Structure formats: C-alpha cells, structure tokens
C-alpha cells in the first residue's frame, strides 16, 4: 500500500499543475475579473468549487464503492486512467509547441469552452451559476478525476485518505481561482502568468505523462 502522505502529496501536486492550466473554469473567472468586479469573480469561484465537490462526491462515493466490489474494474480503471493521462500529456506538449505569442496574452480555450460561452449571456448577473455550469459541464473533469484518484479507491486505502483527497482538491481549486480573481482584477498577476504559461503547459504535460506511466506500470 502506498503511504497516505506521499499519495496525497502526488494527488495535490498533480491537481495543482492541472488547475493552473487555462480551461473553462479559468475562462469564466478571467472574464468576470476583467470585465466586472472582484466580487462577481469570487461568486464564480464558489460555483466552481461546488461543481468540483459534486464531481468528487460522485467519483469517490458511488464509483469507489462499486470498484471495491469489483476488483477487476479497479484494475481496468487504472489502465484506462493511465492511458488517458498519457493522451492528455502528449496533447499538452503539442499545444505548448504550437502556441503563439498572441494566445499567451489571454487564457486559451479548452474542451468545453464553447459550451460555456453559449451559457454566458448575462453572466455578470449570475456569476455563481456560470461558475457551477462551467465546472459541471467540462467533459474532461470526470476522466481526469478518475485518473488521478484511481489509487485511492483500493480496498486497503482508508476512507479518510479519500476524504482528505477530495477536501484538498476543493481547497486548492478555491485558492487558485480566488488568487486568479484577485490578481486579474488588479492586472499584476495576469502579466506574470502570461509570461510563464508556455512553461506551465510543458511541465504539466510531462507530469501527466509520468503519472500515467506510473498507473500503467503499477496497475
């Protein structure tokens, strides 16, 4: 059994790298922070956090119980999760290689962004709903969480480890998007983030690939 400390540290680190990469949630917070007020962006952050919590309850609740009853399903999930992370890593490297300087000036679109945009008419009046919708409608959320949380659903992993993983992920999401909302409403963080975005994308891609290989090897 993997010790709880290193296991949680790897999950938190991987999620942190993923959450700072531009996606639908980043798009929502950025747009509100730049076009409205910090308060509006903060409500969107709460909506995003609630959406993440809902996904985590589904995955670490029902899915975890189901997989513990069917060990072969747990092994299959680890293999599928490993392959999915490898796919995300390769795609991330390709995106980082072809990114232009113009795209670095604003958060890049990600799968699900078009869906978010269609729901954002009047988002200034409903920032919480916009954040919640962006989090729940992102097609990458469930497979990504299944991938990084696969080691926690093993029968020998205590329940408190799964709870700590879920709580930590939600707290990291709130901390990062809250920082983004605050920074972009003043403009200073945006400049620093834009300068480092290509490096962030490459580091995330390599970490995703390494974690995916680890799941495949240990599966």
Q: What is the pLDDT of residue 82?
A: 73
Determine the straight-line distance between the first and last CA of the chain, rounded to whole angstroms. 13
Tokens of 145: 């969480």
DSSP result, 78-105: HHHHHHHHHHHHHHHHHHHHH--TTGGG
Whether 38 contacts 181, CB under 8 Å:
yes
Whether 130 contacts 28, CB under 8 Å:
yes
Q: Which region holds residue 58: left if phi is over 0, alpha if psi is between -120 and 50, else beta? A: alpha
Task: Give how far the C-alpha of residue 8 lies from the chain's centroid of Cα atoms, to the nearest Å.
Answer: 15
Q: Tokens 């995106």 — which residue?
A: 95
What single-letter DSSP state applies at residue 154?
S
Q: What is the pLDDT of residue 62?
A: 67
Q: What is the pLDDT of residue 111?
A: 41
pTM over 0.75: no
Q: What is the pLDDT of residue 67?
A: 59
Number of other CB atoms surrounding residue 171 within 10 Å: 12
Tokens of 104: 């670095």
Provide the residue-wise pLDDT of the chain in tens; the chain has 219 residues.
568 888 899 899 989 888 887 777 887 787 778 767 788 889 999 999 999 998 888 887 766 566 556 666 666 766 776 777 687 678 778 877 775 444 544 444 444 444 344 334 444 558 898 888 878 876 677 778 877 887 787 777 888 988 899 999 999 999 999 988 888 777 666 566 667 767 766 776 787 688 778 777 865
DSSP result, 16-84: HHHHTS--HHHHHHHHHHHHS-HHHHHHHHHHHHHHHHHHHHIIIIIIHHHHHH-HHHHHHHHHHHHHH
Between CA 22 and CA 156 the distance in angstroms is 35
Residue 151's H or E segment, with its range, is none
Q: What is the pLDDT of residue 121?
A: 42
């Amino acid at each position: 059994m993997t010790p709880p400390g290193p296991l949680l540290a790897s999950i938190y680190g991987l999620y942190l790298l993923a959450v700072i990469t531009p996606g639908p949630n980043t798009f929502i917070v950025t747009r509100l922070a730049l076009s409205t007020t910090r308060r509006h962006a903060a409500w969107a952050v709460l909506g995003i956090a609630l959406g993440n919590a809902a996904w985590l309850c589904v995955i670490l609740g029902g899915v975890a119980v189901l997989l513990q009853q069917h060990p072969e399903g747990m092994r299959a999930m680890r293999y599928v999760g490993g392959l999915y992370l490898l796919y995300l890593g390769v795609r991330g490297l390709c995106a980082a290689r072809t990114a232009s300087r113009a795209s670095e000036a604003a958060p890049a679109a990600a799968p699900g962004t078009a869906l978010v945009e269609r729901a954002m008419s009047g988002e200034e009046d409903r920032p919480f709903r916009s954040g919640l919708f962006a989090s729940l409608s992102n097609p990458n959320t469930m497979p990504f969480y299944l991938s990084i949380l696969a080691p926690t659903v093993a029968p020998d992993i205590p329940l408190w480890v799964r709870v700590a993983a879920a709580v930590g992920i939600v707290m990291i999401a709130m901390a990062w998007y809250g920082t983004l909302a605050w920074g972009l409403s003043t403009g200073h963080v945006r400049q620093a983030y834009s300068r480092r975005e290509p490096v962030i994308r490459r580091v995330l891609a390599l970490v995703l690939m390494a974690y995916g290989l680890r799941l495949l090897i240990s599966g």
